Amino acid sequence: MIIGLAQLTALLRYPRRVSEPLPEYEARRDAWLAKQNVVQRQVIRLGNVRLCLGVLTAVIAWLAYEQSAISAWWLFIPLLAIVALFAVHARLARQRAFAERGLRYYDRAIDRIRNRWQGKGEPGDRFRDPSHVYAEDLDLFGKGGLFELLCTARTAAGEDALAQYLLRPATLDETANRQQAVRELSSRLDLREDLALLGEDVRAQVRAEILTQWGSRPAIPFPAILRILAPVLAVAAATLTFAFFLQWPPLWPLGIALLVNGSIVYLTRHTVSQIVASVETPANHLAILALLIQRIEQEKFTSPKLQSLVEQLQVGGLPAAAQISRLERWIDWLGAGSHPLIKIVQLALLWPLQVAFAIEMWRRRSGTHIGEWISALGEFEALSSIASLSFERPAWTFPELRSPAQASFTAKALRHPLIDEHRCIPNDVTLSGSPRLLIISGSNMSGKSTLLRTIGLNTVLAWAGAPVNAQQLTLSPLQTGASIRVTDSLQDNRSRFFAEITRLRQIVDLTREPTPVLFLLDELLSGTNSNDRRIGAAGLVKGLLQGNTIGLLTTHDLALAEIAADLKGVAENVHFEDRIVDGKMEFDYQLRPGVVTHSNALELMRAVGLVV
């Protein structure tokens, strides 16, 4: 039995209640694998039938032409069957490709749950910006970055929206609305699956800037009188042509009509060509987007954020998918003008001109809304990406968002979002009132920098509207500034120290804005001598704490730990420990109060064979 695309999709719907993410994904993957096997068997059987038909055709041809035993007309039976089977084979090929895409989709989803996703998704390298105040330091983009874990968007607009969610913390109200939307989308696996599989691969094809520019560019002028005359002249010429073949009127009225219409076609040929050429690429892109938009429009939502996005897809009087379908019909009509029969009468009907009128009218009426449609679709894809994370990480929790009166960050069992749960050690962190600054000392590789990124990444997730990797997190609106991975630059002729103080200036500038600041400083001013370092670090930290700020500072220089004594009640010393067991370094990555009492630098040097 040959199954259709609609039947194939229906077979993959799950009326049961969604349970744990991994069994659910594995069940859906197995279903797609079963469908792929079914279609593959059908393709094989179809191939055997085609082979038999080929043999039968050869036998009939031999009997008809060599033996003259039967009529050659019998050849039409197997030949028609072969032609019909070509169409069936094309449909099966589409179904097989669809099933293969379903398998790839769930393979990647399972890899995310099993922490095998690194290097298999979209890294978002085009969003990397070394000058951003925290993106590079917190590993937002690149292989194994937060964006790669999150992104399931199929369009560049979706990737853009998700990147902006991560790069720019939202307001309190907006974040709360995103949380509500993500909660609603989290369990809608069928919707996310459809958005992932509908149509062809669109990431490389859809360019939002082309669509937006085409829709909003100035109108192409046409004489207003032509909009009225063109339909009248087309009807007149068609009527006279029909009447001429019935031998009613003489030839000269038809000749005059064709001469008038031909003159109009000649005079407007450049304008028509301009419209036809300009619509080809946007029409293809819009047709792809229409599939995704139409699927979203079929859903009913209760959260204000999602309802607002659906309303944005309906600007212009009709749903976006319906408006795009109208344009597609006119494009089809335009293509029909190349048919030989149409070419005969297109001069009489003013065919290209009338279709160009319709396309230009569509663009004037609906084209200005294309940017809004793309923006809404992109933001929906960003929320859907976060919803996938929420579904796949059921142990994560949505943070409690506080009003921006005072900078605060209080976490229980906080973990790094990009490290495997089985290897990641949780820690409790409190930055609110007293203390506002944690000075973290500890040995090399003990976990100091990782803790900074843990706090920074979970803060980014929180204000993007996403769940966080913690048992509980309460925080105020925060602008994050990080100096963790600052390097020199030969191209910009900058030393590491100059790059670091430039970043520190960016963080200081953040404190002049009304939103509280979270600063994350790793090995502060390590590029200068110890005396300047102590003086500079102490002055910088005290200056930062004069504003509405909280932060963390890591150090190997225990002299910097003395800052806590000068800022009693505001700063607190904490540390990570290590120990040597059978000649090997061991770390427990547990945050403890106080200053670390020893260093592992010499042991590490000896461990790699250096004589010290």
Q: Which residue has the higher pLDDT, 15 or 243?
A: 243
Query: Between the CA of residue 279 and those of 290, 343, 466, 579, what are the distances in Å?
Result: 16, 21, 39, 69
What band does 486 get if pLDDT is binned at 50, 70 and 90? low
Per-residue pLDDT at 69: 75
Q: Which residue has the higher pLDDT, 586 or 200?
A: 586
Q: Are strands 584-587 and 437-442 parallel, antiparallel or unpaired?
A: unpaired
Average pLDDT taken over every residue of the chain = 81
* pLDDT tens per residue across span 21-51: 999 999 999 999 999 999 888 888 888 888 8
Hey, is 311 helix, strand or coil? helix
Q: Among 213-217, 262-266, 355-359, 608-612, which range has the highest average pLDDT?
A: 355-359
**Of the given ranges (206-210, 406-410, 515-519), which has the lowest mean pLDDT?**
206-210
Query: Between the CA of residue 364 and those of 170, 352, 530, what are the distances in Å?
Result: 34, 18, 67
What is the rounded distance in angstroms from the CA atom of residue 366 to the CA atom of residue 282? Answer: 13
Strands (E), 152-290: none
- CA 350 to mean position of chain CA atoms: 43
What is the rounded distance in angstroms from the CA atom of residue 576 to the CA atom of residue 561? Answer: 14
Per-residue pLDDT at 10: 41
Long-range contacts of 129-135 (CB under 8 A, 24+ apart): 130/489, 132/167, 133/480, 133/481, 133/482, 133/503, 133/506, 133/507, 133/510, 134/456, 134/460, 134/480, 134/481, 134/482, 134/520, 135/166, 135/167
Q: Which residue has the tokens 């279609």?
A: 39
For the chain, domain boundaries: 5-113, 131-201+382-392, 208-377, 400-607
**Mean pLDDT, residues 382-386:** 97
* pLDDT at residue 493 is higher than 50: no
**Mean pLDDT, residues 436-460:** 90
Whole-prediction pTM: 0.82
* pLDDT at residue 494 is higher than 60: no
* pLDDT at residue 108 is higher than 70: yes
Per-residue pLDDT at 432: 85
Q: Which residue has the higher pLDDT, 559 or 442?
A: 442
* pLDDT at residue 5 is higher than 70: no
Residue 308 corresponds to which tokens in the numbers above?
């607002």
Answer whether 170's CB lies under 8 Å from 464's CB: yes
**Mean pLDDT, residues 188-192:** 94
* pLDDT at residue 8 is higher than 50: no
CATH (residue range 400-607) = 3.40.50.300
H or E segment to which residue 409 belongs: strand 408-414
What strands, in cross-sheet order, belong to the sheet with 472-475?
400-401, 472-475, 408-414, 427-432
* pLDDT tens per residue across span 245-273: 666 667 767 677 667 767 777 777 767 77
DSSP 82-128: HHHHHHHHHHHHHHHHHHHHHHHHHHHHHHHHTT--TTSS---GGG-
DSSP 539-594: HHHHHHTTSSEEEEEEES-GGGGGHHHHTBTTEEEEEE-EEEETTEEEE----EES
* pLDDT tens per residue across span 557-581: 777 777 777 777 788 899 888 776 6
CA angle 503, 507, 511 (to 5 degrees): 160
What is the rounded distance in angstroms from the CA atom of residue 254 to the CA atom of residue 103? Answer: 62
- Rg value, the chain, Cα: 33
Residue 116 corresponds to which tokens in the numbers above?
């095998």
What band does 17 get if pLDDT is binned at 50, 70 and 90? very low
* pLDDT at residue 183 is higher than 90: yes
* pLDDT tens per residue across span 284-322: 667 777 888 889 988 999 999 999 999 888 876 678 888
* pLDDT tens per residue across span 63-83: 877 767 777 777 778 778 887
